[in-house]
Structure 1
Amino acid sequence: MKKLKYLVMAAIAAVVFACGTTRTVPITGRKQNILVSDEQVLSLSNQEYTNYMKSAKLSTNSANTAMVKRVGQRLATAVETYLNEHGMAADAKEYSWEFNLVQDKSVNAFCMPGGKIVVYEGLLPITQDEASLAIVLGHEIAHAVAKHSAEQMSKQIKNQYGTQILGQVLNAAGVSSSTTQLAQIIAQKGLQFRSLKYSRDNESEADHMGLIFAAMAGYDPNVAVTFWQRMAQATGSNNQSDIFSDHPSDAKRIAAIKQELPEALTYYKPVKTTTTTKKTTTPTKKKTRTTSKKKTTKTRRK
């Protein structure tokens, strides 16, 4: 039994210390281990996005479409500025921003690695204004900037490494095949359950980063609280437990955002908008000229 336990721990250690690239997440400073290259992720992302857009129907509402593109571009500019100013110019060059509003009643939005963002029309009745939309788009952009997709893919690869190594080690130790399969299943399920927690951590990190990105772009981060309250009311998930979810519960999310607001507000600089007022001139009454025809008396020459 001790030998089996040692072998299992050895397998887990092999997973933990798997080769990869260690990078630091902007804003939060968290260290993450990535096993896939940016080229691999972007290639898969572009392919998936292209396939999605082939079947998606773009919104016919020109005003809302313009708003999504306007808010998105302001956020993208702020993010690129931050990355360039903090020694991450190479990361900034990876993004080819695109913002689309599609005809879908779902309350949702997503961002693909590389900066391709899609907003569903069903989200706009909940956001209600540009600042709240900026909170959502900032969150989605944060997923791309933090390379959460690459991180999740890396965790799945580690999971596969772990079960394969565990199976090989147990077979080599003379353990029966049925016991080996059972151990692999348990290990895989355990790692999958932990990956749910990693997903929730990614969501919370995206909330944190997105709040700051919105503030950098000149949007008031305080609106995040009322937005998520509206979201909770609309979806009816305020009291929902997040233990089996890849998203934090709305209550936990709102509490975390309230704690992060002081930091976000240090980045907040309201955008100055110049309002041009048209001069109103009082119309001058035109004088009506009355031309009186003079009666001319024609004198006949005799």
Structure 2
Amino acid sequence: MKNIRIILLALVSSVLFGCGTTSTVPITGRKQNLLVNDQEVLTLSYQQYQQYMQSAKPSTNASNVAMVKRVGQNLANAVVKYLNAHGLGNEVSQYQWEFNLVQERSVNAFCMPGGKIVVYEGLLPVTRDESSLAVVLGHEIAHAVAKHSAERLSNEYKKQYGVSLLGVGAQMAGASDGMTQLLGLGASLGSSLWTSGFSRKQESEADRMGLVFAAMAGYDPQTAVAFWQRMAAQSSGSGGLFSDHPSDEKRIKDIQKWLPEAKKYYSSSTSAPKTTKTLHISSKKLSRK
């Protein structure tokens, strides 16, 4: 019986890791193993995005809405241009970029796979200018480009099925059944799959990539330091924007370490957008839910 169990577990490992694909994250070069393909993740993402937007209240501030869309699209254009130039255009060929500002006082933003990005109004009084907003949006775009949600979904699947005989049964039932279970897992995780729960490694990776993406689009990456200093100053220690991320202090130190790399892209950008002030929603200190 012991030998049979070892053989079955070995089969599980070979199926889990053999049927997946090895992908390389742009900018950082990190290798990752994914058990789910883009189409499956995007289908699930778009379904949950539509559900979210049906209940969300779009911002009525036309100026801020236009700013979010403008900065977001500048970033998306720069990222796609970079990926195409490096033979990686297929990685985002199915993405449908969309940038929305919603009425929510929390200091936050999130991106679903496929380029569906949502910014809360509560973030704007902290970003203050377009360059700082670009740093945040660059971070969110990085999660999508690096396929962090697909990676998390793959890791959750491995944890649930990769170390049990039930996992063997599920995998031996057929690849299509396995994918059905994987997508069912994604549905059960719900919005947390897209808005939280990334590992510290993924969050730091998104910080680095986002800094570079902002610079590519012509936004001064140096503004990231002042932005995170403002975040640290207004933090109550009870969570908030990227509450699952590294501490503000560590983030600032890491950003200062990555600035020379980002500035190379900034200096080579042909046209840097102006850094303009946002129209603040409120002068009151906002909640960091």
Q: Which runs of 5+ in 2 are unaligned?
A: 169-195, 275-289
Larger radius of gyration: 1
How does 1:3-82 map onto structure 2 within 5 Å?
A: 17-82=17-82
Identity between Structure 1 and Structure 2 (%): 64
Residue of structure 2 in register with 1:204 after alignment: 204
Query: Structure 1 residue 166: deviation in Å?
Result: 8.6
Residue of structure 2 in register with 1:255 after alignment: 253
Find the residue that maps to 1:60 and give its secondary structure. coil
Query: Structure 1 residue 165: deviation in Å?
Result: 3.5
> For residues 23 and 273 of structure 2, what CA distance do their matches in structure 1 show?
38
Query: Structure 1 residue 76: deviation in Å?
Result: 0.5
How does 1:1-302 map onto structure 2 within 5 Å?
A: 17-165=17-165, 199-237=199-237, 246-269=244-267, 271=271
Query: Structure 1 residue 12: deviation in Å?
Result: 9.2
Change (3 A) 1:197 1:103: closer
> For residues 63 and 139 of structure 1, what CA distance do their matches in structure 2 show?
23
Change (3 A) 1:204 1:141: same
Q: Which runs of 5+ in 1 are unaligned?
A: 169-195, 275-302
CA contact (8 A) 1:14 1:162 kept: no
Q: Which has the higher contact order (CA 8 A, sep 6+)?
A: 2
The TM-score normalised by the length of structure 1 is 0.73
Q: 1:151-206, CA deviations, whole angstroms, 9 ceiling, x for partnerless residues? A: 000000100123324998xxxxxxxxxxxxxxxxxxxxxxxxxxx99611100000
Q: What letter is aligned with 1:210?
A: G
CA contact (8 A) 1:11 1:165 kept: no
> For residues 56 and 266 of structure 2, what CA distance do their matches in structure 1 show?
35
Change (3 A) 1:9 1:108: same
Change (3 A) 1:8 1:267: same
> For residues 167 and 95 of structure 1, what CA distance do their matches in structure 2 show?
32
Change (3 A) 1:29 1:140: same
> For residues 53 and 39 of structure 1, what CA distance do their matches in structure 2 show?
21
Output the aligned Cα RMSD.
3.1
The TM-score normalised by the length of structure 2 is 0.76
Q: 1:59-114, CA deviations, whole angstroms, 9 ceiling, x for partnerless residues? A: 01011111101100100000000010000121231211111100000100011100
Find the residue that maps to 1:163 and give its secondary structure. coil
Q: What letter is aligned with 2:228?
A: W
Q: 1:25-80, CA deviations, whole angstroms, 9 ceiling, x for partnerless residues? A: 01111100000111110000000000000011110101111110110010000000
> For residues 117 and 105 of structure 2, what CA distance do their matches in structure 1 show?
17
Query: Structure 1 residue 248: deviation in Å?
Result: 1.1
CA contact (8 A) 1:11 1:166 kept: no
Q: What letter is aligned with 2:218?
A: G
Query: Structure 1 residue 253: deviation in Å?
Result: 1.0
Change (3 A) 1:238 1:258: farther
Query: Comparing 64-73 with 12-21, which one deviates more in the overlay?
Result: 12-21
